[in-house]
């Protein structure tokens, strides 16, 4: 008697196990396994044969890269995150939590491409054409060459791609499609993986770029798109951590461009709009003089972003002093406090210290060290600093102020934002600028910049 084989797959990462596991050994997720029928693979992946019109070797120098074949999304923030537009024949994954704006974004891109008469097919297993039409009416999409379909069978989607050879295809979402030849439910790990592989195959074979949308849930209750990251060309996520009320689209993988690029958007009833100058909004309405403040320029990919770091110190008469930070690395913060105590003579041992990055942003780099130090110092001394001064530099344990990369870009952003002065490392090389540069080599020199009593 033939027993039907089943396996257990992790919903987070796709790890496969023969028995149920409470904790995934690959990604550490709890209760993330679900049982699925084991796919019996055909030998040698027969169905994907003829991928490139037969097996043939050729000189590498003659291979055409198609590198410049990019399609603009019509949204410059999105183009940058894609690495300069969508590459033909690429498969991109657009992930995010429900309500993040994936469908809205994909529809906006579809409309922009279709506007010039190119055919775009938006396939949705999530919404009916009527619902898509409602969103389209709301956001102003409706070019004659924008086609919609509610289809969930990937074989049929792939056939349509081959037949129509549109300029762009969107599949919303990968969790709703299924491959007929796989004996598993739509949304299961094996369906998601196999459907993705099939769409990849269709994209590469036809040169049609495909964007697949994938839902991410915090609790991992549905199989997520994480397991697809290694298969697809581009992975973009809408971040749940937002800058103010903005939606941040971040590239976490890009075979055709840099990662760590972000695009900043605002979501409203009329759809998605790009925020070209987040620095301006982040620094909007800030007072000219402020104690406990340090303005910094951090890099998000190739884009400089100006932020305010705020610090508050408060005397504590008994008990252990608290250190509370949001938006900056805790260990980095402790190092900077130690340097301030040692080199600037700040006695913080009986002080609670709170640090916050305005706008709810997280800083992942060291170029903001100097600004953090300035914020704590001016906060502790209760000495207002000018918010027209930006602080850029990394701190060493010996109190040295060290150069950071992209100095010119950071200074240029400050200049663009109307800053008058930049405190930078003495050793940094800089180009032309109208901003007054204060070069310091050691943290002690902050004293003469933040004038006290």
Ligand X SMILES: Nc1ncnc2c1ncn2[C@@H]1O[C@H](COP(=O)(O)OP(=O)(O)O)[C@@H](O)[C@H]1O
Residues that bind Zn ion (CB under 5 A): 10, 12-13, 15, 24, 26-27, 29
Distance of CA 132 to CAs 190, 192, 251, Å?
28, 23, 26
Indicate if the alpha-carbon torsion angle 105, 107, 110, 111 is positive or negative.
negative
Which residue, among 268, 279, 305, 264, has the nearest Cα to 75 in the 3D structure? 264
CB nearer ligand X, residue 271 or residue 425: 271
CA 78 – CA 73 distance, rounded (Å): 7
List residues bridging with 63 in a β-sheet.
none
Between CA 203 and CA 211, with CA 208 as vertex, the angle to 5 degrees is 75
15 binds, among Zn ion, ligand X, Mg ion, none (CB under 5 to 8 A by kind): Zn ion
Indicate if the alpha-carbon torsion angle 74, 79, 82, 85 is positive or negative.
positive
* CB count in 10 Å sphere of residue 412: 18
* CB count in 10 Å sphere of residue 50: 10
x/- map, 209-248, ligand X, by CB under 6 A: ----------------------------------------
CB nearer ligand X, residue 94 or residue 390: 94
Q: How far is CA 221 from the centre of its chain?
A: 22
Least Å distance between CB 172 and Mg ion? 6
Pairing of strands 168-172, 146-149: unpaired
Q: Which of 102, 179, 332, 381 binds ligand X (CB under 6 A)?
A: 102
CA 21 – CA 17 distance, rounded (Å): 8
Least Å distance between CB 108 and ligand X? 9
Least Å distance between CB 144 and ligand X? 23
247 binds, among ligand X, Zn ion, Mg ion, none (CB under 5 to 8 A by kind): none
Q: Which of 61, 269, 345, 432 binds ligand X (CB under 6 A)?
A: 269
Q: Which stretch binds ligand X (CB under 6 A): 78-86, 95-103, 180-188, 378-386?
A: 95-103
Least Å distance between CB 41 and Zn ion? 21
Least Å distance between CB 100 and Mg ion? 8
Least Å distance between CB 102 and Mg ion? 5
96 binds, among Mg ion, ligand X, Zn ion, none (CB under 5 to 8 A by kind): ligand X
Which residue, among 335, 403, 402, 409, has the nearest Cα to 373 in the 3D structure? 335
Indicate if the alpha-carbon torsion angle 89, 95, 98, 103 is positive or negative.
negative
Q: Which of 28, 45, 50, 98 binds ligand X (CB under 6 A)?
A: 98
Q: Which of 28, 45, 66, 99 binds ligand X (CB under 6 A)?
A: 99
x/- map, 281-320, ligand X, by CB under 6 A: ----------------------------------------
Least Å distance between CB 270 and ligand X? 8
Spatial neighbors of 122 by CB under 8 A, at least 6 apart, are 106, 107, 110, 132, 146, 147, 148, 149, 169, 170, 172
204 binds, among Zn ion, ligand X, Mg ion, none (CB under 5 to 8 A by kind): none
Q: Which stretch binds ligand X (CB under 6 A): 79-87, 97-105, 276-284, 387-395?
A: 97-105
166 binds, among Zn ion, ligand X, Mg ion, none (CB under 5 to 8 A by kind): none
13 binds, among Mg ion, ligand X, Zn ion, none (CB under 5 to 8 A by kind): Zn ion
CB nearer ligand X, residue 12 or residue 104: 104
100 binds, among Zn ion, Mg ion, ligand X, none (CB under 5 to 8 A by kind): ligand X
418 binds, among ligand X, Zn ion, Mg ion, none (CB under 5 to 8 A by kind): none
Run of H or E residues at 7 = strand 6-10
Q: Does 103 bind ligand X (CB under 6 A)?
A: yes
CA 356 – CA 280 distance, rounded (Å): 19
Contact (CB, 8 A) for 86 and 256: no
Spatial neighbors of 139 by CB under 8 A, at least 6 apart, are 104, 107, 108, 111, 270, 271, 272
Written as six digits, the tokens of 374 are 């300035």
Q: Which 123-152 positions form the footprint of ligand X (CB under 6 A)? A: 138
Q: Which 77-106 positions form the footprint of Mg ion (CB under 5 A)? A: 103
Binding site for ligand X (CB under 6 A): 96, 98-104, 138, 267, 269
Binding site for Mg ion (CB under 5 A): 103
């Amino acid at each position: 008697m033939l027993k039907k084989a089943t396996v257990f797959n992790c919903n987070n990462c796709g790890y496969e196990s023969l028995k149920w596991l409470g904790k995934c050994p690959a990604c550490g997720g709890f209760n993330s396994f679900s049982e699925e029928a084991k796919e019996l693979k055909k030998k040698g992946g027969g169905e994907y044969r003829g991928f490139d019109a037969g097996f043939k070797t050729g000189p590498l120098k003659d291979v055409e890269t198609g590198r410049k074949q990019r399609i603009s999304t019509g949204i410059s923030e999105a183009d940058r995150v894609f690495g300069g537009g969508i590459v033909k024949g690429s498969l991109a994954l657009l992930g995010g939590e429900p309500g993040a704006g994936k469908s809205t974004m994909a529809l906006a891109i579809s409309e922009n491409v279709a506007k010039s008469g190119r055919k775009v097919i938006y396939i949705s297993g999530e919404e009916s054409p009527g619902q898509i039409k409602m969103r389209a009416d709301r956001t102003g999409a409706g070019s004659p060459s924008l086609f919609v379909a509610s289809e969930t069978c990937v074989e049929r989607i792939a056939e349509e791609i081959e037949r129509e050879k549109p300029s762009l295809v969107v599949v919303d979402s990968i969790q709703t499609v299924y491959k007929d030849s796989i004996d598993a439910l739509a949304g299961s790990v094996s369906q998601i993986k196999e459907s993705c592989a099939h769409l990849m195959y269709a994209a590469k074979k036809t040169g049609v770029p495909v964007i697949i949308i994938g839902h991410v849930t915090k609790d991992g209750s549905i199989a997520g798109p994480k397991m697809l990251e290694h298969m697809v060309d581009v992975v973009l996520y809408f971040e749940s951590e937002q800058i103010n009320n903005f939606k941040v689209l971040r590239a976490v993988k890009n075979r055709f461009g840099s990662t760590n690029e972000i695009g900043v958007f605002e979501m409203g009833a009329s759809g998605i709009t790009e925020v070209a100058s987040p620095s301006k909004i982040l620094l909007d309405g800030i007072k000219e003089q402020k104690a406990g403040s340090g303005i910094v320029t951090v890099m998000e990919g190739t884009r400089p972003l100006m932020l305010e770091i705020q610090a508050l110190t408060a005397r504590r008469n008994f008990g252990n002093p608290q250190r509370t930070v949001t938006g900056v690395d805790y260990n980095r913060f402790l190092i900077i406090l130690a340097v301030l105590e040692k080199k600037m003579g700040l006695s913080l041992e009986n002080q609670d210290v709170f640090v916050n990055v305005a706008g709810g942003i997280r800083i992942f780099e060291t170029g903001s060290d100097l600004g953090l130090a300035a914020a704590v110092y001016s906060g502790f001394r209760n000495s207002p600093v000018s918010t027209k001064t930006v602080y850029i530099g990394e701190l060493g344990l010996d109190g040295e102020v060290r150069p950071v990369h992209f100095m010119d870009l950071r200074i240029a952003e400050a200049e663009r934002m109307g800053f008058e002065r930049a405190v930078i490392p003495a050793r940094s090389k800089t180009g032309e600028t109208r901003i007054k540069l204060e070069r310091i080599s050691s943290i002690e020199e902050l004293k003469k910049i933040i004038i006290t009593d």
